[in-house]
Amino acid sequence: MTINAEGGSSILGGFRDDFKALSTKQIIAIIAAIALSLILVVLGLGRSCLGFLIIAVILYMIPHMMGVMSAKVKAVVGVVFVVFAILVGTFAYSTDISDQTDISNGNAIANEAITYDESTGTYYLTFSVNPVAAGIATDSEGAISESWGVRVGYGETSRLSFGAITATTGGTTLSYMSTDAVSVSDGWYTFKVELTNMHQGVIEYLEFTVDRVSDSGTRTLLENGKMSYDTGISSGDCRMLMLRGSAVTAAQIALLFFIILGFATVMRRSATKSREKMEAEGRLYPQGYGRCKECGAMVLPGEVVCRKCGAYIDVPEEMRPKKKDYVTCSECGAEVPADADTCPRCGARFDEEEVVEVSHVDGTVEETSDTVPCPHCGESIPANAGWCPKCGKKVRE
């Protein structure tokens, strides 16, 4: 239990340290990234093919460009965005779907209306189609010269994402030819369709398609007629549809965001390990020490003088060789390993016996490399010495 508690404390402490290290500019960048991403989602970019990728990149890059490098901080940014996106998508929109869903029928479909027959419990759809506006050809006198038809598809809405229908279930498609129109006036063909599979208490989504029909097959000319219809859905059920839709949209953006974050984190850690290895081997200066402080020129590992301005390069302590046992050459002062036989600078040998000069009272000087212990204090003294230099006692007559 103690280990787990300490581990949890360490993780929380890491989060606190990373957030405390943020500057005011970085905090503003994080807030701006979340706000801009939410605005783009509300505008509908999150529902487009590459829109959620663009939002994910914006959410990641704005803090990153301001110097936010902590993966923990960026992960929190992603989580905060998801939470706010779901809240906005669920509660910021009215449950009156007819006021907010798009109806983009162009100039070829108009006068859509749905009525309910209480005696039979059946819904009926009435709409008008202008085949010429949809692309059906006419002859020289303006009469329609091609066969054409219309399809009506409808189904129950299963998700509402930021005011738009994004998914339906139980789709039904009905097909009609131009001869099925109940009336024709000024080039407009009016149809009345029985919607047998439409139910109460839901939001229905309808699509209209105009087709050219020929011996070679059917060709779609118009596929942008859309509308929605509320058959009496409750406020709670509508909020649930909004929750599902906003959650799916936010999840798509979050998935891409965390994929970007994951790849960036792995690559950064790999680069950091490679850099640490190169620094330990002396092939790369630690961060902040790669340029001359005087002129800014690039400094290569091992250089002690700037090649451009000649300034002395103060090599960081961590870049200096790790010396364990070394001695100083008595000839040139170079530092060499203790087990070296010769000095790498001046070539002096270290395996030769030490020669000691002994000066006697009569003025003579003798050289010897042999030593004997002093009989009085035990100190090693030259074999031809008459007095011990440590205790001062006479050692030979």
Residue 189 and residue 73 share a domain: no
User: Is 326 inside any structural domain?
Assistant: no
User: Is 310 inside any structural domain?
Assistant: no
pLDDT digits (tens, 9 = 90+) for 168-215: 887 889 999 988 999 888 889 999 999 999 988 998 888 888 888 876
pLDDT at 35 > cutoff 90: yes
pLDDT digits (tens, 9 = 90+) for 93-111: 877 765 444 445 557 888 7
Residue 91 and residue 29 share a domain: yes
5-19, 34-48, 98-112, 359-373: which is most confident:
34-48
β-bridge partners, 225: 208
What pLDDT is stored for residue 36 in this prediction?
96
Residue 211 and residue 130 share a domain: yes
User: Is 342 inside any structural domain?
Assistant: no
Residue 358 and residue 259 share a domain: no
> 232, 260, 292: which is the final residue of a domain?
232
Distance CA 209, CA 151 (A): 5
pLDDT at 283 > cutoff 80: no
Residue 47 and residue 26 share a domain: yes
Residue 57 and residue 134 share a domain: no
Token pair recorded at residue 290: 């790669």
User: Is 343 inside any structural domain?
Assistant: no
pTM tops 0.75, yes or no: no
What pLDDT is stored for residue 5 in this prediction?
41
Q: How many domains does the chain have?
A: 3
User: Is 306 inside any structural domain?
Assistant: no
What pLDDT is stored for residue 98 in this prediction?
56
User: Is 127 inside any structural domain?
Assistant: yes
User: Is 304 inside any structural domain?
Assistant: no
Confidence of residue 318 (pLDDT cuts 50, 70, 90): low
- Domain extent, residue 71, equals 2-95+244-268
**Which residue do the tokens 């239990």 mark?**
1
Q: Could you tell me the CATH number of the domain that includes residue 133? A: 2.60.40.10
